[in-house]
Amino acid sequence: MSDIKTLIIAELEKIIAAKGEACPDIVGETRFLQDLPMDSLDLATLLVTLELETGKDPFRDGFKGFQTLNELSALYQAA
Amino acid sequence: MKFIIVTGVSRGLGLGLTKALLSSGYKVAGCSRSRSDALNELEMSNDNFKWFPCEVGDATQTQTFVSDACQWAQAPLWGLINNAGIAKEGVLATFPNVDSDELLQINLNGALYMAREALRMMLRQNSGGRIINISSIIGSRGYTGLAAYSASKAGLDGLSRALARENGRRGITVNSVAPGYLDTEMSSTLSDSKRAQIINRTPLGRLGTVDDVAPAIEFLLSDGAAFITGQTLTIDGGITN
C-alpha cells in the first residue's frame, strides 16, 4: 500500500474514533461519505490535515471531484 | 488562557476590543496593515499580545498570519474577531469601481479568507470555537453615500448565517455584532450637523463607544453564548428600533 494511502487511512481512523464511531475496514474502493461514518466537515478536516502532513494541496487551482480512497490518493500522488 | 485573533487592531474598535480582551485574560494576536504607537505600547506592556502585519484582503497574507499567530500562541485557537474594514463615501453613480473593489476585498473577502483559515484550525482542533464578524447597522438599513460599505456589511451578516449552519455540528458558533454610530476615528469625518442629527435620533441620546460594544463581543466569546449562532447582535443605542 502506498504511503499516502496509509496516511489517509490513519487520519480517517483518528477522525472516526474522535466521533466515538466504529471504523469499518477501509479499502481502495471505500467511499468516504457513503461507506464511512463521516460528514462533509470530517472530510474537510481530513483534507486540511493531509495538506499539513504532505505539504501538497491538489485543490489549489480548484476543487477536483473524488469519492474513494483510491481516487483521493491519486490526486495527492499527482500533485 | 483562551487564544483569540483580532483583525484591524491599529485603532478604534479593534484596538479598544484588544485591550478589553487582554484585561479579561485572553491571549490575543492582532493584525493590521501597519503598526501604530498604541500597538507598540501594548506589545511592550503585555506578553499576551502580539501584533502581526497583514492585509486581510490578500489570501496569502491571511494564511501566513493565522499560521504564525497560532505558532506564537502555542494554544488552540478559540476565537476570531473579523473587525478589519475601511469606509469610503460617495454616491454610487460617481463612485470609482476601483474603490468599490478595494472596499469589498478588504471588508468582505478579507473576513471570508480569515474565517477560512480560522476554521481550518478549529476543525483540526475539534474543540469548538467562536467567529464574530463586526458588521454594522448600515448593512441592514443602508445609508446614502455608503452603498459599497453597506453591501460589504450585509455580506458579513450572510457569511455569519451560512458559516453558523455549516460549522454548528462542531461546536463552532458564528455571529455578527452590528454597532451603530460609534465615537471613533471612523466617525470623525461626520459633520457637526450630521452628528447632532444622529444623536437626536438615538433613543439613548449619544454616539456609542468601544466600551458599549466590547462587552457584547466578550459575551459571544464566552461559554454562556454556546447556544447562540447565526445571529446579528445590534448595539446602536436604539436608533434602528
Judged by CB atoms within 8 Å, which residues 155-184 of B form the interface with A?
166-167, 169-170
Going by pLDDT thresholds of 50, 70 and 90, the confidence category of residue A67 is: very high
Mean pLDDT, rounded, for B11-35: 97
B77 touches chain A (CB under 8 A): no
What digits encode the pLDDT tens for the residues B155-176? 999 999 999 999 999 999 999 9
Q: How far away is chain B from the Cα of A15, in angstroms, using its nearest Cα?
A: 9
Q: Which residues contact B63 (CB under 8 A, 6 or more apart)?
A: B117
Give the domain CATH number at A10: 1.10.1200.10
Report the phi/psi class of residue B191: left, alpha or beta, with left for phi > 0 and alpha for psi in -120 to 50. Answer: beta
- Higher-confidence residue of B16 and A2: namely B16
Per-chain mean pLDDT for chain A: 95
| Residue A2 Cα, gap to closest chain B Cα (Å) | 24
* CB-based contact B123 A39, cutoff 8 Å: no
Contact B212, B235 (CB under 8 A): yes
| Integer CA distances (angstroms), B116 to B21, B59, B111, B128, in order | 23, 10, 9, 15
List the single best residue of A45, A49, A50, A63 to mutate versus B (max B Cβ within 10 A): A45
Indicate if the pLDDT at residue B17 is higher than 80.
yes
* Domain total in chain A: 1
B120 CB neighbours in chain A (<8 A) are 48
CA distance B101 to B236: 28
User: DSSP E strands: which ranges in B54-180?
Assistant: 77-82, 129-134, 172-179
Radius of gyration of chain A measured on its C-alpha atoms: 12
pLDDT at B177 over 90: yes
Nearest CA in chain B to A40: B166
**Average pLDDT over every residue of A48-74:** 95
Q: Check whether B194 has a pLDDT greater than 70.
A: yes
Q: What pLDDT does B186 receive?
A: 65
Q: What average pLDDT does this structure show over B58-82?
A: 98
Residue from A11, A41, A51 whose CB has the most chain B CBs within 10 Å, to mutate: A41
Inter-axis angle of helices A3-18 and A40-54, to 10 degrees?
Answer: 140
Could you give the domains of chain B?
3-181+211-234 (3.40.50.720)
Annotated catalytic, B149?
yes
Domain that holds residue A52: 3-78
